[in-house]
Amino acid sequence: MSQLLHTMIRVVNLEKSIHFYTQIMGMKLLRKSENSEYRYTLAFVGFDDESTGSAVIELTHNWDTDSYEQGNAFGHLAIGEENIYARCKAIENAGGKIVRAPGPVAGGSTEIAFVEDPDGYKIELIQMSSAQKGLG
């Protein structure tokens, strides 16, 4: 059976991004590899390893790049949370940036919030009780 393994995003400051995803979002640094010939480092973060069926995020740091344009096609990453209200408070207390306070979506009952990582990528937090009903 096929499985979604990871989503790759390019980051400007790898250590700052690893700190955000591990210390603020609560993920684990699963592995890190450096390629000095082609001047990049990859760091994989997630709540669990891909071997468990969990999807992870590949943080790609190209050593000679100091900025990226995100464009307008990418939307966000989504993470299910047991309590988005408490999670947002913990993220704020840890220095994270909440860009949409927790609450129901416009015109619906699914409860969401949005966080922004150091590179400006948006992360949607979805109340698991809502996610288990099916989103759409």
Tell me the binding residues. 58, 76, 124
Q: Which of 34, 50, 116, 124 is catalytic?
A: 124
- SS3 of residue 54 by DSSP: coil
Structure-token pair, residue 26: 């609560």
Rounded Cα gap, residues 136 and 131, in angstroms: 10
Cβ 134 vs Cβ 118: under 8 Å: no
What residues are designated binding site for Zn(2+)?
58, 76, 124
Alpha helices (runs of H) in the chain, residue ranges in sequence order: 14-19, 84-93, 128-131
Residue with tokens 């979604």: 4
Catalytic site includes residue 34: no
- SS3 of residue 128 by DSSP: helix
Residues involved in catalysis? 124
